Amino acid sequence: MTKEQWEAFPEQIKDLYSQPPKIKVTKTLKDNQFLPICGGIKVISTPGHTPGHISLYLEESKILFAGDAMVCSNGILKGPVKQTTHI
């Protein structure tokens, strides 16, 4: 990310990136892991936005929880944009 891109972020976003919230992690999810709840949830690794970023796919209802890293452009689902990507 360039200095100009960083400076274009609102102060709230800068604060979030500079001082992310801290929590104790007791379990981590892995790519292709299956969670037997809500009709079945598939864990999908979507790295790049943040370290360890994942999306969750509810198989029964065909809903994808992608967080804020995925974008839809001209009807095509795409990965995270450069301005909001960690690496």
Name the residue with higher pLDDT: 84 or 15. 15
Question: So what's the pLDDT on residue 68?
Answer: 61
Question: So what's the pLDDT on residue 69?
Answer: 59
For the segment 56-79, the average pLDDT, to the nearest whole number, is 83
Q: How far from 4 is each of 1, 27, 83, CA to CA, in Å?
A: 8, 37, 11
For the chain, which residues make up each domain, given as ranges?
3-84
State CA 78 to chain mean position distance.
Answer: 12
Question: So what's the pLDDT on residue 86?
Answer: 64
- 3-state secondary structure at position 30: coil
For the segment 52-77, the average pLDDT, to the nearest whole number, is 84
User: How far is it, in rounded angstroms, from Cα 49 to Cα 51?
Assistant: 7
Kindly tell me if the per-residue pLDDT of 59 is higher than 70.
yes
State CA 71 to chain mean position distance.
Answer: 11
Kindly tell me if the per-residue pLDDT of 84 is higher than 70.
no
Sorted by sequence, the CB contacts under 8 Å of residue 37 that are 6+ apart come out as: none
The whole-model pTM stands at: 0.57
